[in-house]
Structure 1
């Protein structure tokens, strides 16, 4: 009789778990590949000038400082428009707003091919940043409405893995596109802007018709699956101490801590990314095509690191050390490559930095959902990303300036140890603070 009672009481729980697994599996297959494809295209159009610079700077007579300043201007307008964009996403819905973002940034990415002067370059990069603003924080907020807390690092990593994978695609394509030099009267770098700018416009239309705003709007979910997802999100919103409301989120100390951490992270990684083809070409003596293959290989390993670290973080139910350790390894990578430009030492050190930059993203981007909800989550995530994106301006500009002042990129690489170490310190401080709060609640 006892066994029968236990079996009977466990049956609804097992059925509920089966519904949950089915709902999450459907959401993962229907949403994450589409979002990953969109973000991958965004990243390619954001940084493809790192390859274009191999020809563009020569053709247009841009100095490293002009190039670095223009590359970074993207992030100034991006940062300025982050919070308004995320609040407009709440008003118009993710489907329409994300589709609008993709179509406008695709059109402006294509327009980059018409740049001729530094002023035009600055204007084009500024408006490209304005057009893309809100896509990344909007997607993070959107995923919070679909995936329960213990699955978010994996969900984030499965769309964010498109960042290193898009670098793989870009590395493989760049050489071929740059080699179209002179075809139809266009320079190779113009072909690069044209070919990589058109796909987001088409994908934006796909978003408009295929991306449901919430589980309640997903016709491909059964009613019980819709209810399970909505229940999980409601329970998460009600659990623990959360910051709700735009004003409270913007004043939350943890939002600012994560913002400064992201500024350090984005500043260092974009400082390297926008200069990577030039740095690696000088280190190795490879052709443009082979440099592209090398960058592709580094980022392919970065994608694997991102997925594995996110899985381990979810299973361990721990976020902070899964961010701290990669930052310390990144610091070591920049330190070694900054001290020695010997190819056999510097290239592996840079590869280690790239892999660990990718691996920490899933756990890091799951932390805001621990203490933010509702409109507070939309505003807080956007604010965090706004501060972080300023690093995207400072990093490339600093690297270009350091190159012009010293004659090489080695000193610039060495200075990247400072923001990486600072980011590790901020995350450690947040870990200690979170631990004290848990101890106080338990006591």
Structure 2
């Protein structure tokens, strides 16, 4: 039955998250020519890239609470419609402040989607199947890199058509699917098992009973916690992933320029490397889902292991002396870090009571994304100050190791609480 639910629910969430990641990350390819056309420095670009996370983190908790109130179908469709429109409008910026404003607005529009999707999946999949479900929907993230890497060069080559720059065409074309998919969600996404006519009465009863028993167990586990926003697992795992996302976003928003500098490749060549990184992430997700989802302890061990691999990838990238080592370091880091990134919220959804999940999941992601604001900004400042990305890469290595260590602290606490 779990796979039956997966086939009816996951495609909607997968495609939605896919276009979200395209609209969030396509600015990295647009920057290859946009920065020169508009006279943006690395610091200006880094601040604009970071502004997204400021808007995202401020509205994360309110957005998830609104999703719990209005239902996933309406609220996720609203999110997609607004971020699609804003992504398209970003193509017409002319000044740094317009860039900052549009990236901030895109973060506000997208706020709540990822934890909202996790919350939505938690109403359909029992705990031991949740990491599997999340890994299947999260695979849309690496697929977005595959697509962005593949179509960036052709879209940038539209430079001059209808009087627009290539980077403008890239933002417009890649923003349109979000608007169209919003209409699909409003028409077809099922809100909850109780309204799914394709489930039999026996299946609905089994699922609702299973989820109710899990919710009761989670309530007993967190009896010391007065409010979801102060839940220690929310804070610890949110902070661990914050360190991870600082590194991810620092690299992601400058990946085309970083790879071009380290390999001498043109946009098409860099796009192929980014696509290869996406395929590596997809492979990691397919591996980690079944391995990590059985227990909280195993999931957190998997997280720490992947963060160790991420630190190794950054070390290779930092010491890179050839195009081959640059590519290898980038792919190892990005595949490991992004694979790890899907695990903390899966754990949080199992360690807090059902009534606290909307606020708890949103707060964990708020911590992660709020701190991530500093990644692209600091990266840009360091690049302008030193003339390269080398120092920035070196400073990211201890962050990945710190995330691995914090996950182990959370694992030990979870074991202690369960034993008590």
Runs of 5+ in structure 1 lacking a partner? 1-21
Asked if residue 81 in structure 1 is aligned to residue 59 in structure 2, the reply is: yes
Match in the other structure for 2:327: 347
Contact kept, 8 Å, 1:57 with 1:63, in 2: the verdict is: yes
Whether the 8 Å CA contact 1:181–1:187 is kept in 2: the answer is yes
Structure 1 position 309 matched with structure 2 position 315: no
Q: Structure 1 residues 380, 202: CA separation in 2 closer, same or farther (over 3 Å shift)? A: same
1:65 aligns with 2:50: no
- Measure the CA separation in 2 of the matches of 1:329 and 1:212: 38
Q: Is the 8 A contact 2:259 2:326 kept in 1?
A: no
Question: How is 1:221-236 mapped onto 2 (pairs within 5 angstroms)?
Answer: 221-236=199-214
1:247 Cα deviation after fit: 5.9
CA contact (8 A) 1:323 1:360 kept: yes
SS in 2 for 1:367: helix
Secondary structure of the 1:239 match is helix
Could you tell me how far apart the structure 1 residues matched to 2:253 and 2:311 are?
A: 18
Matched, 1:413 2:393: yes
Which ranges of structure 2 fall in alignment gaps of 5 or more residues? none
Distance 1:70 1:341, change over 3 A: farther
1:43-442 equivalent positions in 2, closer than 5 A: 43-240=21-218, 241-243=220-222, 248-315=227-294, 318-438=298-418, 440-441=419-420
Preserved CA contact (<8 Å) 1:242 1:370: no
Residues 36 and 161 in structure 1, CA contact (< 8 A), matched pair in contact too: yes
Deviation at residue 223 of structure 1 after TM alignment: 1.6
SS of 2:177's partner is helix
Matches within 5 A, 1:9-28: 22=1, 24-28=2-6
Is contact 2:243-2:372 (8 Å) kept?
no
Distance of 2:291 and 2:238 partners within structure 1: 24
Name the CA distance, whole Å, in 1 between partners of 2:37 and 2:343.
42
Shift of residue 354, structure 1, vs aligned partner: 1.1
Between the two proteins, the alignment pairs up a number of residues equal to: 418
Task: Please give the alpha-carbon distance, in whole angstroms, between the structure 2 residues aligned to 1:245 and 1:277.
Answer: 47
Q: Using a 3 Å threshold, how does the CA distance of structure 1 residues 314 and 251 change in structure 2: closer, same or farther?
A: closer
- Could you state the TM-score of these two structures normalised by the residue count of structure 2? 0.96
Query: Structure 1, residues 203-233: CA drift from partner, whole Å, max 9, x if none?
Result: 0111111111110011221221121211111
Cα shift readout 1:190-211 (whole Å, capped 9, x = no counterpart): 0011001111111011111111
> Residues 204 and 244 from structure 1, CA distance in 2 versus in 1: closer, same or farther, beyond 3 angstroms?
farther
Cα deviation for residue 165 of structure 1 reads 0.8
Contact 1:39 1:162 in 2 (8 A): yes
RMSD of the TM alignment (CA)?
Answer: 1.6
If you compute each CA radius of gyration, which structure gives the higher value, 1 or 2?
A: 1
Change (3 A) 1:362 1:71: closer
* Aligned partners of 2:216 and 2:353 also within 8 Å: no
Q: How big is the shift at 1:72? A: 0.6
Write out per-residue CA displacement over residues 377-409 of structure 1, whole angstroms, 9 at most, x where no aligned residue: 110110011111123311111111110011001
Change (3 A) 1:433 1:247: closer
- How big is the shift at 1:316? 6.7
Question: What's 1:17 paired with?
Answer: none
1:358 Cα shift? Answer: 2.7
The 8 Å contact of residues 107 and 201 in structure 1, kept in 2 or not, is answered as yes
Q: CA deviation at 1:286?
A: 1.3
- Residue 131 of structure 1 deviates from its aligned partner by 0.6
